[in-house]
């Protein structure tokens, strides 16, 4: 085993069973439920289900085992866990009282900084989650246009307006039409069908690949022609693909942009930003949250913005993600064990499987060896994935692939 990542088959069953007793599904975050983390291997007693502490790109389970994390809190952490500069800023904010009857000055400072770095931003409203930010953007678009229909492509959270889950009224679901990613014909056809009632086109501009510029330009042109609001969900991509997101990379600027995740390095903060003429609709509708201007998230975001001023954070994320992709992808390709491949842009890539149980086997065996991989999408490179960590991943992968081979050396035997 790689030095510094001791393997001990100490069961995590106690925390798993206690969580199952008091939390439906075992976690309040869907992507952190054991069956989502490990699929059919969810009840393997040696795979971790909870963490005690996290630092850099490593985390430790309650029984003391260390793991290198490739998921980085579902992409919410771009610098590294417990980054000292972010942590100091958060502690200072908490020590000075994190909320009051008045908004904190950090609300103004961070809003001004976002206006400087996000191409579409002239004004800002803060919230706590990406799902909230997307719901706010949709509310703004409907308030501005007086229309209701939404054309959507991507994942925008769990709230009613974008969900087909049980419990969501069908009348709400009917107000949204989804179009395929990068499909110019489908987008044009759908806009023509709903033109009179179209409030917004909302796009996640990087899913498993970067959106084609021509497709984004068409969305911009169609929104302008119909008077609809163009929204980019850059919750995962801003502060990662570029500081200013995909819009900075492509030059296609939406009317509204939603931000979150890596903006505050894992602390709960999100925002909807955009053209002043569109953001002004917030004065005519109601978008508000008691915790929207809580200062610890704002302090974390300011520290992250400082990071982006000091160094090219997106380039470092892409370099680290690309090395993880190369190391893990090459190991998968060269091994006699087949069934899973790595695919996608370096900054956020995924694992693809011929059958789900093959992916489950990979992630559970990797976890047993001290490497946490996200089933499917996404693996995120972070600044904390430095050369030493990448060398450890390189050392681990042959052991992981060997353990997946049939025969007496299989881990599950």
Domain boundary among 240, 275, 310: 310
Number of domains in the chain: 2
Among candidate residues 259, 280, 310, the one where a domain is terminated: 310
Residues 66 and 96 in one domain: no
Pairing between β-strand 256-259 and β-strand 229-233 as defined by DSSP bridges: parallel
Q: Apex CA 70: angle with CA 129 and CA 343, to 5°?
A: 100
Cα dihedral: 300, 301, 305, 308 (round 10): 80
Same domain, residue pair 151 and 290: yes
Nearest to 48 by CA among 21, 8, 77, 3: 8
Say if residue 191 is in the same domain as residue 298: yes
Residue 173 φ then ψ, to 5°: -60, -35
Model pTM?
0.94
Strands (E), 137-292: 149-153, 176-178, 198-203, 229-233, 256-259, 270-274
Residue 60: which residues within 8 A CB-CB, separation 6 or more?
51, 52, 53, 54, 66, 67
- Give dist(CA 356, CA 309) in Å, integer: 42
Q: How far apart are CA 359 and CA 324, in angstroms?
A: 17
Is 49 found in the same domain as 131? no
Which of 275, 310, 345 is a domain's end point? 310
- CATH no. for residue 263? 3.40.640.10
Q: pLDDT digit of tens for each residue in the chain (413 aa)?
A: 333 444 444 456 689 999 999 999 999 999 999 999 999 999 999 999 999 999 999 999 999 999 999 999 999 999 999 999 999 999 999 999 999 999 999 999 999 999 999 999 999 999 999 999 999 999 999 999 999 999 999 999 999 999 999 999 999 999 999 999 999 999 999 999 999 999 999 999 999 999 999 999 999 999 999 999 999 999 999 999 999 999 999 999 999 999 999 999 999 999 999 999 999 999 999 999 999 999 999 999 999 999 999 999 999 999 999 999 999 999 999 999 988 999 999 999 999 998 889 999 999 999 999 999 999 999 999 999 999 999 999 999 999 999 999 865 444 44
272 and 171 housed in the same domain: yes
Q: Are residues 102 and 197 in the same domain?
A: yes
As a whole number of angstroms, the distance between CA 128 and CA 110 comes to: 14
Domain assignment of residue 327, given as a range: 13-81+313-404
Residues 318 and 388 in one domain: yes
Mark out the alpha helices in 118-183 (DSSP H runs): 130-145, 170-173
Are 152 and 178 found together in one domain?
yes
Indicate which CATH number applies to the domain containing 77: 3.90.1150.10
């Amino acid at each position: 085993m790689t030095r510094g990542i001791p393997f001990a088959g100490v069961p995590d069953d106690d925390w798993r069973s206690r969580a199952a007793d008091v939390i439906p599904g075992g976690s309040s975050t869907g992507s952190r439920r054991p069956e989502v983390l490990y699929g059919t291997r969810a009840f393997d007693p040696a795979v971790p289900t909870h963490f005690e502490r996290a630092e850099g790109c490593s985390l430790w389970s309650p029984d003391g085992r260390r793991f290198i994390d490739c998921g980085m809190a579902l992409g919410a952490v771009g610098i590294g866990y417990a980054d000292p500069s972010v942590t100091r800023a958060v502690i200072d904010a908490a020590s000075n009282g994190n909320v009051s009857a008045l908004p904190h000055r950090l609300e103004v400072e961070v809003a001004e900084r976002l206006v400087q770095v996000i191409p579409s931003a002239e004004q800002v409203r803060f919230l706590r989650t990406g799902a909230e930010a997307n719901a706010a953007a949709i509310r703004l678009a409907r308030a501005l246009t007086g229309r209701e229909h939404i054309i959507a492509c991507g994942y925008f959270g769990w709230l009613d307006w974008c969900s087909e889950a049980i419990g969501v009224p069908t009348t709400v679901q009917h107000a949204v039409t989804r179009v395929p990613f990068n499909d110019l014909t489908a987008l044009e056809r759908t806009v023509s069908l709903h033109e009179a009632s179209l409030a917004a086109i909302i796009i996640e501009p990087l899913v498993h690949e970067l959106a084609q510029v021509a497709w984004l330009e068409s969305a911009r042109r169609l929104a302008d022609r119909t008077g609809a609001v163009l929204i980019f969900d850059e919750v995962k991509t801003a502060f990662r693909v570029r500081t200013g997101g995909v819009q900075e990379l492509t030059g296609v600027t939406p009317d509204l942009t939603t931000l979150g995740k890596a903006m505050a390095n894992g602390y709960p903060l999100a925002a909807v930003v955009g053209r002043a003429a569109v953001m002004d609709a917030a004065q005519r509708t109601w978008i508000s949250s008691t915790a929207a201007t809580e200062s610890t998230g704002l302090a974390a975001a300011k520290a992250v913005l400082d990071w982006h001023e000091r160094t090219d954070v997106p380039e470092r994320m892409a370099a680290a993600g690309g090395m993880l992709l190369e190391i893990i992808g090459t190991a998968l390709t060269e091994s006699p064990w087949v069934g899973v491949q790595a695919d996608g842009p370096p900054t956020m890539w995924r694992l693809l499987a011929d059958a789900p149980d093959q992916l489950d086997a990979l992630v559970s065996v990797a976890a047993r060896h001290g490497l946490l991989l996200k089933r499917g999408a996404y693996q995120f490179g972070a600044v904390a994935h430095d050369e030493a960590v990448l060398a450890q991943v390189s050392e681990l992968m042959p052991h992981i692939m060997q353990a997946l081979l049939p025969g007496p050396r299989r881990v599950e035997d």
